[in-house]
Amino acid sequence: MRLPLLDQYPTLSMFEARAREIVPPDALAYATGGAASEATLDRNRWALQHLAIEQRVLMGVKTIDTTTSFLGLTLPTPIIVSPMGGMYRFHPEGDVEMARGATRDGGLSVVAGGAPGLDKVAAAASGPLIFQLYWLGDREWVADKLRTVHAAGFKAFCLTVDAAAYSRRERDILLNMPLRRAAAALPDTQSSLTWDDVDWVKAQIPLPFGLKGIMTAQDAELALDHRVDFLWVSNHGGRQLDDGRATIDALTEIADVVNGRVPLVVDSGFRRGTDAIKALALGATLVAFGRTALWGLAVGGADGVQSVLRLLNEELVINMKLAGQRSTSLLSPRVIRRIDGSGFAINVPVSQRTSPEGSLMSQLSASQRAAVQQISDDAGLSEIDKMWSITEAVLGAAPSAPAPTDRTSE
């Protein structure tokens, strides 16, 4: 069934433009801003823009399978909605409408730890929900919160672990954002958390449990040692650690370490269906969208959320066909190419890395090919570091990073 809002706002950019017109300035700053210099916020987008999708043709792509398995659930799409606080600033029934819209087509949504009335939120959803836990009290407080989550019918829960301190978000500070004042008044209960707390919280209710905020292979290994059921690669939409890495960069090394042992969720910087393809190809099971869904909520409540998700999924299917890929669950790194600042590919598909016969590699000297191979095989380098090292090896110097033009994505 065609949604009426899609006739009025047929593109994602139109939803965002309308939201910017109607959302109050302080709430808009909260939605679009990041931590301090906003380097992490910018890097999330910039890193995605330096990955290109390979175009394959004549691959028989009449039907695209986007069905996704996650923690025993069968989902119609790998695209989900991230948890976000302060939804009431964008719609009077913010958390309820977000859950209602995000699950209408059978998708999964994640409910923020500060959402009021979990029973009401759960009752509004027609698909599965995950609860995002912030540790905002003592263990008794946490246990009581989780009993409520379990009773409300949530399918899983995750502990947010990237909030040892509340970051300096300068846009919020300049506008004296009410949410910032409220956060500053909360007790400091998260900076003292350790892996012992992970073991304790996992045992409180019989639901699948994950950690949200994993950004290194080392922490991924530790999480697996502590028997978590899923990992969430996230830098909080660029809103916590300033000058951190992009999640798409961290995802690759984390996926290598996890090697399929548990599902991976990723967020931060994702705004188009093509971004989801990149993340899925690099190892993600689910790709969570935050700000994009938020624009839909602001414009049309549940209908707006459902509408932007339909657009994202339409983009996903169209570009899967154009890339010659039939199933999102079968995407692999060979679908993705890293590109330099000028738009040229600087590596060959993963499946060809051991061969010098790729289109770019065949144009290089023997010493250049050896240097590129050595960099590609260096497990100690992140994907972004490899990109710049290879560019320097081939071209003599890495190009300057372009000035970011968009800071409004998660």
Active-site residue set: 236
For 212, phi then psi, to 5°, come to: -110, 120
CB atoms within 10 A of CB 72: 9
Residue with tokens 């999330």: 44
